Every structure is written in structure tokens, then in C-alpha cells.
Structure 1
Amino acid sequence: MRGGSVAVVGGSIAGSAFAGAAARLGAERVVVLERTPGRLEDRGLGLCTQNERFTELVGAGHLAPDTRRHRLAVRRWVTRGRAGEGDGPYGCGRPLWTQPFPFHSHHWAVLWQALRERTPETVEYRLGSTVTAVGGDRDGAWTEESDGTRTGYDLVIGADGYRSVVRAAICPEAVPEYAGYVCWRGSYDAALLAGLPGGAGAWPEDECATVCYPGGQVVLYRIPGLAPGSTLVNWVFYAPTPDWLHLDGPTAFGAGALSDEQLDGMREFAEKQLPPYWAGVIALTPPERTLLQPLYDLAAPYRTAGRLLIGGDAATIVRPHNTSGAVKALQDAHSFEQAGRRLDDGSWAPVLAAYDRERTPAGRELVELGRILGRAQVTTAPDWSGMDGSAMDAWWQEQLADGGASGGAGFGGHALGRTDRG
């Protein structure tokens, strides 16, 4: 019967959203098992939500209207000046295109905290709980932790990311596929921009900058800081695989884990490829705020088995080009909750079936769009030196058309109501 106990493996954005959904659906006990022993506030950097998607999530009750965020309005694409042209005022590069960009930017931890505050108080968070195995059948499920403790539940939800233990139990054939390039990431106090030529004024606060070079790009925007009223610079640098990086499975190098030599190599590459201002923006990043994330693709062929379910990055790994990661996770939890409200017959089985039916194809669409954007913007990018505004606009529209954006799986994620089917 519906109710009983639910375990959520993973306590980040997707995990918190699913935990809240399970509690609101009437589970008598909801336990979040998060392997990180301390607070999660330092995890992650910046992310964005498209304005309409944010409004939908507020209307659905997942986010508060006053969730702290930074408003963006335009996305300015630039590249290095042609031979003899120079790189324009303050070394900001040659403008390619100015694109409308109706997005909010967020600090991961601020958004996560906003979700936690809306999670019912009955949800139990257990930090430092590493789940090493899960299993179950039509009648129940269980988790096993690193100390050997096995606990039974009525439902186990996997929100445990790239290397999901729950996904391995549901569909072991679903393995993340390396995209062939990486993204370096960093963030720091925006006050440091004052030390650059032109200072912070060379880069308007409502602007997302995309700096293109042969074989990659850097996306930069401001986000709220952890302290109310503070602002951070956030950047994502899509780049070739470093010579020293040898992958034998999904991995990442967190903030503070990179050597001076590795960081110097990234900065030297930025100085060689980017206009001077933007290379300077990256160079301001402290080593302890710089990380490396190899990029992967994954669309699980199905999301449920027996009393097991996966969502968020455990179910779909989408390249950041889509700007839809947080929206995707919250929409997964929303779909699960809506299915439970529509199918109120007292059992979990039809809820899981409806969720799988709705979110599996939506995830495939997002993954495919991310691949299309990655090819167009990184691996088979155009010769930026020959691009202007009209060529950029046509190039962008072609990407969205190839990705089936008119069908709803567009840049920034699809509309929330699109998957509210019975």
C-alpha cells in the first residue's frame, strides 16, 4: 500500500525535491541518505533557470517567489579580433551577437537551501550515510550502507548522480558516455573584477558572456553569493581533454583537488585562446575555487524497477549547454508527485509506471539536445572569425530545430505542464 517508508539516496537538489514529494504523497517516513558527512553549502557553483520555468516551479510550490537569484537579460557572444583588428575596448573581444537571455542565475547552495526550507519537517536527513547497494522487488526495497547495515523500505529513490548505485541496480547497462571534452569551472567574489582594465563596468551585470575560440567557449555570468547581498563571478570553460587526464569511468576533480601545474596549464591555455579581459577574469579565480568536470551523456532506457526509482542526474546526464540541469531535477520530482496525486489508489506501482512513462522520453530529448549544442558550439564549431549577427542567429536556430525544440525540449528545458499526462 502507498505510505510506509521511503529512502532517498542523495541529498542534493534532486534528492531534496523527491523527499518533499514523497512526504506530501503520504509516506509515513522519508529518510534522505547523503554520503557527504558535512554541510552541502560549498557544493557546486552556478546554474540558471529560464524565467518561465522558474515561474512554473514557483507556481507548483517547489520554490518560493523570493528565492534569491540574479537576473540576466542578454547573452553577448564574442571572440578574438581578426588579425589587425585588436580586441576592442578593455580587451573584451570582437562582438559576434547579442541574444535575448531571459534567465535567472543561482548559487547551487542558495537554491538547495531554498528547497530544504520547503521540505516538510518530517523528512529525516542522515549525513555521512554511504549507500553501497540497493535492491528489491514488487513488494519492497532495501538499501545497504558501507558499514553493512541493510534496511528495508517500501520505496527507494535514487538521486545519487553520475555514479548512481540505484541506477546500477535498475538498469546496469546504462553507463555514462564521455563527451570528449571537459569543462573547467570557477567562482569568486565579483569585487575582484575592479582590478581588471575597465573594471566590473566592462561587463554589465545583466549579461551572460559567451567567449568563443576554435574548439571551445567560456560562459560567464554573475550569481548570488552565500551571504545576502553578495555577488560572485561564475564561469564554465569548455576545453579539450588535458593531456594529463586519463579517464577510466565517470569522475570529477573538485575544488582544491587540482595541482598548481594543472591550474597553470589551464590559465596559459586561456591566455592563448581568449581575449585579454576574459583571460583575466579566469585568472582571478583562487585555486580552491577552481574545479574540473569531464562531460558525459546518459539517458537511462527506463527509470524504475520494482520499488526502485531514479531521477535527476542518476537518470539523465545532460551537458551544461542546455542550461536545464536544475529544472530537469525539479521537474522529475514534480512528475513523480503529480502522478501520485492523479493515481491515488493506495499503491506505488502505478505511480512509478506513470513517472517512467512521462520522464524517460523527456530525458532522452534533453540529452540529445545537449549533444547537438555540444557539437555545434564545441566539437564542430564554426569558424568564428567569419561569423556576424545574422549568421549567428541562423546558426542558433538550426541547433534548436535539430533538437526538436518546437516539440518542447528546448534550451532551458521544456514547459512543466508538458509531462503532466496520465
Structure 2
Amino acid sequence: MHATRTHHTQPRALIIGGSLGGLFAATTLQAIGWQVDIFERSPHELDSRGGGIVLQSDVLQAFRFAGVEAAGGLGVRSGDRIYLNRDGEVVQRTWMPQTQTSWNMLYGAMQRKLAASAYHRGEQFVRFEQDGRRIHAHFASGRTETGDLLIGADGARSAVRRQVLPGLAPRYAGYVAWRGLVEEAGLAGDAADVLRGNFAFQQGSDHLLLEYLVPGEDESTQPGHRRWNWVWYRKVRHGDDLSRLLTDRHGVRHAFSLPPGLAKDEDVAWLQQQSRERLASAFQQLVAATQAPFVQAILDLQVHRMVFGRALLLGDAAFVPRPHTAGSTAKAAANALALATALRGTETGADIDAALAGWEAQQLRDGIAMTEWGMRMGNQIMHTAPSDTSSIPGFQE
């Protein structure tokens, strides 16, 4: 797929980033007849470091539009939402049924909808240039590709955003999320009895832990073959403390997160000690059973533009909502579905330009509303003031 297309053939989208945002864009645009090509900088198959995801209607709508299916269902249902105290007592119980899925479940379902030839690994985007209504993407390998649209779906560290909005980077929110995944059989006894089937929380004065079941690594939703997913929000001061935490066991400093297996032994030991001191017994056992906990800095990002001629930003490349909104994946799905809906039936360059303008206006409104809501919610949960985030400088590569 190296040939340059003419306006008389199938329109082509060059999608930078091969995670969920890129796959949502590819599958929905493919459904309206566009040729799609994804360029992912990692040379390897992406892993499921993202862990659990609360399944939202935007994802389901994008899947239906694109004809994406998952055998056996997309997630694991929970019934009650429960809050535990330090002594392990259920202090609040509310019937609030919902479905939890996982990064690897969504990734696998969408990837199977695309031809293998549409996904190009080991291609690091460098820059683009525009020639009228054609756009040319250049990669570190020396490869150049031409299309009708370039989509920056390359996440919070977006290389596309660096070109169109230089100097704009995510801001650290003042706390991190420790996360873990445990095979269902890895937690038994009273702890499993308390947690199974529930969306469980423990709220402290300056921390919050939550847990729910998600599909297994093989995408199974059958009892006994699923995974426990947990997230524990903890404050970490910006500066030396955060830099030290995000330096892995090999001495490499990471920008935003440490994948599973890279946290230093002393940090994992601290995490386990903290769980014994602060968490209910069921959560202590869950943290202790986690073989490779990982950590993500909580970020804020808002853009004031999403369309730049025939280049656009989608998903976390444009807006990074706090995870309390459960909206990051849903937002990427909504961006992609709205884009495909806007572009469906466009025939001329002017049609595409008008469609992009309308798409941008609505997505900016939605993105600002979601991120503002997430900041308010996160500041309330973690007992941080708005000034704790606004004065923090943006991360740099």
C-alpha cells in the first residue's frame, strides 16, 4: 500500500497510532468505504498494559457502525457497587449494573476487522506536509505515504500534535494510578467472595482504590477465566518524587507510565507495604497477588483546535480526561464515529473540508466538557485544589 491515490479512486486515511484510537478511526472509516492504513511506531504487537475499561455506549455504537464483533460478548457484568472501609466492612451498597471490558478485548476485536496489510508496525512518524488537499506523511524509516486525510491518534505523547501545536503538552495532575491485573484463580477464599460480581471501592482522605473483573488475556468472559483489575490512586509530588517513580528498574526515565514488569523492586515493596497499612483485607490480598503492577501518571490535556487542513487530532492526542470519567476510550470511539458519519457520502474536496469543520466544532465542545468534568471530579476525590494542576509545567519528551 505505497501507491499515491488520485481523486477518482477510493479516499485514503493515514492513521498515526495503532492503539485503540487508531483502530476506532480505521474500522469506522473502512465502513464508509475509505482505504485505511495504520502506522504504529512500536515494532511489536501492542500489549494490554491499559488493563480494564468500563464499557460505554460510545464504544458499542462505534462497533455496530463498523461491524466489529466479539465472540462471547465484550465484557464482564457487575451488579452492585460497594464501598469497603479499612476493616473490610461494606459501608455502602448500590445496585448499579454495568459491563467492564479490557484493552486487549477491544484491541483484538477491531484488529481482526482489518486486513493485516493495513497495519504497519515499526513506523515512527516524523512530519507531514500538505499539497492542496493531499497530505504526505514522512517516517523515520524513509517511507513516505500520501493520502486524503492524516489522523493523529497517537495518544498523549502525540508526534502529530507536536507539529501542529508545538509546545502544548499534557500537565501532571498531582497523583498517579497504580494498576494491576490478576488471573481470577489467583484470588480465592473470602476476598474473592467479597469482590466477585461487584464494582468495589475504598475511599480514603487522599487515595481511592477500585476493582472489577474483566475478560481474560485470551478474551474469555467465562467464570474462572477472567481477571481481577484494580486501580489505586495515590498522590506523588511533581519533581524528584515523580521522576524517581517513573524511572524503571533499568534506570530509564519514562514520560508518563511504567509498563508491567518495569517498576523497581523497592517501589513494588512500598506499594505492598502501603496496601497492608491502608487497605481492606480483600484489597490487600489482591495487591499481594499482583505479579507485575504498573503505574500511570494522571494527566490533563486540552487543545483549542483539532483540524489543521487535512490533518486532525483524535482521542488522547487532543483531550486527555481523568480516568474517573471512564471516558478516554469512549471519547476516542465517539471522535471516530462522528468523523466517519460526517465524511460518509462526501465526494469532493470541498465536501470533506466542510465535514471536518463541522466535526471539529462538536468534538471540541465535547472534549472540553469531559476534561473539565474529570478535573473537578479528580480534585474532589483526591482532595487537591485546582491550583495543584494548573501551575504544573507540561511534560516534555
Instruction: Please tell me whether the aligned partners of residues 182 and 286 of structure 2 are also in contact (alpha carbons under 8 angstroms).
Output: no
Give 1:123 shift.
6.2
> Do 2:191 and 2:285's aligned partners in 1 also have CA atoms closer than 8 Å?
no
Per the alignment, do residues 285 and 122 of structure 1 end up closer, same or farther by CA in structure 2, a change over 3 Å counting? closer
1:355 matched to which residue of 2?
Answer: 359
Task: Report 1:275-354 matches (<5 A).
Answer: 275-287=280-292, 290-341=293-344, 343-345=346-348, 347-354=351-358
CA contact (8 A) 2:51 2:180 kept: yes
| CA displacement 1:376-395 (0-9 Å, x = unmatched) | 211249xxxxxxxxxxxxxx
1:220 matches 2:214:
no
Cα 1:344–1:123 shift into 2, 3 Å: farther
Q: The residue matched to 2:344 in structure 1 has which SS?
A: helix
Q: CA deviation at 1:168?
A: 1.6
Secondary structure in structure 1 of the residue aligned to 2:192:
helix
Alpha-carbon shift at residue 133 of structure 1 (Å): 2.4
Q: CA deviation at 1:157?
A: 0.5
1:211 corresponds to which letter in structure 2?
Q
Q: Do the aligned partners of 2:213 and 2:229 also contact (CA within 8 Å) in 1?
A: yes
Deviation at 1:333, TM superposition (A): 0.5
Q: Tell me which of 180, 187, 190 is aligned to 1:186.
A: 180
What is the rounded CA distance, in whole Å, between the counterparts of 1:278 and 1:142 in structure 2? 51
Q: 1:263 aligns with which of 264, 268, 278?
A: 268
Structure 1 gap ranges (5+): 81-86, 382-422
Q: How far did 1:154 drift?
A: 2.2
Distance 1:173 1:105 in 2: 36
Structure 1's 135 and 101: CA in aligned 2 closer, same or farther, altered over 3 A? farther
Verify the 8 A CA contact 1:67 1:114 in the aligned structure 2: no
Map of 2:227 onto structure 1: 232
Go from structure 1 to structure 2 and tell me whether the alpha carbon gap of 1:18 and 1:380 turns closer, same or farther (over 3 Å shift): same
Residue 166 of structure 1 is aligned with which of 160, 167, 175? 160
Question: For 2:30, which of 14, 23, 42 is the aligned residue?
Answer: 23
Deviations 1:239-286 (A, max 9, x none): 011764227994211111111111111111222221222122111100
Cα distance, 1:199 vs. partner? 4.2
Between stretches 147-156 and 325-334, larger displacement belongs to: 147-156
Aligned residue pairs total: 362
TM-score relative to the length of structure 2:
0.84
Which residue of 1 is the match for residue 249 of structure 2?
none
1:137 deviates by 5.6
Q: Deviations over 1:264-321 (max 9, x none)?
A: 111112222212221221111003xx11100101121111101101111111111110
1:11 is aligned to 2:18: yes
**8 Å Cα contact 1:8-1:33 kept in structure 2:** yes
Does the C-alpha gap of structure 1 residues 152 and 118 become closer, same or farther in structure 2, counting only changes over 3 Å?
A: closer
Take 2:151 and 2:107, find their aligned partners in 1: how far apart are those partners?
A: 18
Distance 1:137-1:318 versus aligned 2 partners, 3 A rule:
farther
Q: Matches of 2:58 and 2:26 in 1, distance apart?
A: 21
Q: Percent of pairs identical after alignment?
A: 27
**What's the counterpart of residue 134 of structure 1?**
128
C-alpha offsets along residues 317-350 of structure 1, whole Å, 9 cap, x if unaligned? 1111011222111111000001012655454312
Where do 4+ consecutive residues of structure 1 move more than 6 Å?
A: none
Distance 1:173 1:239, change over 3 A: same
> What is the DSSP-based 3-state SS (H/G/I as helix, E as strand, rest coil) of the residue aligned with 1:263?
helix
What pairs with 1:86-125 in structure 2 (closer than 5 Å)? 87=87, 92=88, 94-119=89-114, 121=115, 124-125=118-119
Q: Judging changes above 3 Å, is the alpha-carbon distance between structure 1 residues 137 and 99 closer, same or farther for their aligned structure 2 residues?
A: farther
Quote the residue 2:198 is aligned against. 207
With over 3 angstroms needed to count, the CA separation of the structure-2 counterparts of 1:104 and 1:317, relative to structure 1, is same
Q: Is the aligned partner of 1:68 residue 2:68?
A: no
1:390 maps to what in 2?
Answer: none
RMSD: 2.4
- Give TM-score, length-normalised by structure 1: 0.79
Contact kept? 1:193, 1:199, Cα under 8 Å: yes
Flag structure 2 segments of 5+ consecutive residues without an equivalent. Answer: 1-6, 247-252, 386-397
SS of residue matched to 1:113: helix
